[in-house]
Structure 1
Amino acid sequence: MFKALDKRFGLNYLKAPSYNTYTNLSATVKSITTEHNLYQNGQKGMNVKVSFDVSGMKGKTGICVAYFYFENGTALNDYNKHYYTTDGKVSSSTKYTPGWDNTTYTDLKIFIPYSELHLGSGKSHLKAKVEIFDNNNRSIGSSQWTYFNYTYP
């Protein structure tokens, strides 16, 4: 039927739709900051706030992951498998689903309870980094480090 329409009207109905021309997914992190002493679901913690641009993800759900380290670069270890990576390090994440082919997020928040940093008493000098993944768990962008101090009474 489409071949007959193509011949009759000189159009190509069999070609792929052109509404999404992005074949390469990408994300550019513009900034990350931390926001401290917040409560979520009764737990005291912090947000890692991310501003980024993403392309080619319209209607697809990706994930932003924050990884936590000591200032010297040693990753924080997880001990209870609540906020963790597959190799047992501390992380937290938030999903995102852009509504447009080119989307800007100015304040995406990734919350982590302070108890999930698994730190002892005293002051710790820490840093965090954010990685942005597409709907197939492929990294499409990452941030620079953001540094912060945490004091446990």
Structure 2
Amino acid sequence: MRGSPPLPREFRLVPGRTFVDASVLVRLFDDDEPVRQAAARALVGDLNGPALVVSGPVLAEFAETVMVRLARPLAPVAVRRALTELSELTVVSADASLVLAAADTAEEEELGLRDALTLEAAVLGGCDRLATEAMRHGTVLRGIHVEDPAFGGNE
């Protein structure tokens, strides 16, 4: 049984909404992975702004990764520019209730807390798809279809 209250009407499932996690956002800037980069760019280019959803923690993880972990890190000014553009998308905030829901989901779905937090943010954002490289492509978790953009969409 979930400890979180029912979602407000504005956060109910919206067909065609895709939650994009940090792994996919990073690929937009990762020239060392051209196939994955092209897949990420195609996903983002095919969907309009309201159809794309991210979260505050995803934006932070994206920034950390592209500034520190890429073989060719981005300059802080480029990261700031990217964050400014990404913040124009629908951004789900991470509050205590989201983290508590993620803790429940982590246990129920046998996920790490970070993946569960991403999944719960997708639920809260009303998404029917989750674009990620971090979870198994083709699974359905909490009613959301998990897709790795490099696999070409739904199976």
Query: What's the TM-score once normalised by structure 1's chain length?
Result: 0.27
* More relative contact order, 1 or 2 (CA 8 Å, 6+ apart): 2
Query: What's the TM-score once normalised by structure 2's chain length?
Result: 0.27
Computing the radius of gyration from Cα coordinates, the structure with the larger value is: 1
Which structure has more helix as a fraction of its residues?
A: 2
